[in-house]
Amino acid sequence: MPNPRPARSAPMVDRIAQALAAADGQAIDADPQRYRRLAIASLKPLAVPTEAMIDAAHQVVWFDAKWAIDSRRDFRRAVRAMITHAIAEAQTTDGDCPDPAAPR
């Protein structure tokens, strides 16, 4: 039987919107709709993960051939590995913003 889900925390879009506002040096109350739109826009590319993100998630999930995903913690580890790798990937671009239309 799956573990019961904990009390619901703030939706991911709201958490990202808060982070964007903070990075912009603003309070989210200054323009909440703008920061929510930016948060949604920043999540859309994650629907198509990079090969490196897939490799990171695969490594977490398959580190042991006998391991079965049977808890939310296992999925959390896989997602964290994907996102952490994406952030590390972005930080190695020497501050350049990659062209989203460029072929990969």
% of the chain exceeding 70 in pLDDT:
67
User: Both tokens of residue 3?
Assistant: 């573990």
| Residue span of the structural domain in which 70 resides | 49-95
Cα(69)–Cα(7) distance, integer angstroms: 22
Residues 56-74 as b/e (b if ≥16 CB within 10 A, e otherwise) read: bbeebeeeeeeeeeeeeee
At 100, is the pLDDT very low, low, confident or very high (cuts 50, 70, 90)? very low
Is 38 within the bounds of a domain? yes
Question: What confidence score (pLDDT) does residue 29 get?
Answer: 95
Global pTM reads 0.58
Is 79 within the bounds of a domain? yes
State pLDDT tens for residues 12-62: 889 899 999 999 999 999 999 999 999 999 888 888 888 877 887 777 666
> How many domains is the chain built from?
2
Are 44 and 54 in the same domain?
Answer: no
Whether 99 has a pLDDT exceeding 80, the answer reads: no
Is 102 within the bounds of a domain? no
Is 74 within the bounds of a domain? yes
